[in-house]
Amino acid sequence: MTGNGVEASSEKKGSQDALEVEVERLDDQAEGADGASRWGRAIGPVLSGLIIDVLDLATLGGVGMSLGFLLGTPAGWYLARNLGLDRRRALYVALACGVYCAIPVTSPVPIATLLGVWVRARQPA
């Protein structure tokens, strides 16, 4: 033992100090309070509506009656959750997207994209 009460064997092993690391984001201005980027907030609703409209167009005709709901519902859920909606609202959006993709007369009209533009226009800048 040495004079300060520390065993000599610990001096031979070397000091094992813990490292303290601070994390700093490089671009704080590009993210909002919810973590969404500026681009995501700007084009997210419009792009989501466009994706649903393309899916609705792909399920045109008889295929849409059977597969439209099955394809539109998970796509609506995924897009709604990525836009930051809670589970309950995401479920409502997913069901609405499934019904929208299953209805045959909605294919020529880009209602989901127009709704996305309307949502984006109502968001504060």
Contacts of residue 24, defined as CB under 8 A and 6 or more positions apart, other chains included, come to: none
- CA separation for the pair 98, 75 (Å, rounded): 8
Specify the pLDDT at position 12.
53
Give the CA distances from residue 32 to residues 26, 75, 81, in Å, rounded to whole numbers and listed in that order.
14, 25, 17
First to last CA, the chain: 68
DSSP secondary structure string for all residues of 87-116? HHHHHHHHHHHHHHHH-GGGTTS-HHHHHH
Specify the pLDDT at position 122.
75
Specify the pLDDT at position 83.
79
pTM for the model: 0.62
Q: What is the pLDDT of residues 41-66, one digit of tens each?
A: 667 788 888 888 888 888 887 777 88
Contacts of residue 122, defined as CB under 8 A and 6 or more positions apart, other chains included, come to: none
45 and 83 in contact (C-beta within 8 Å)? Answer: yes
Specify the pLDDT at position 26.
64
Q: What is the mean pLDDT of each run of 10 residues along the chain (125 residues)?
A: 52 67 64 56 80 85 82 89 86 90 82 81 72
All structural domains of the chain with their residue ranges: 40-122
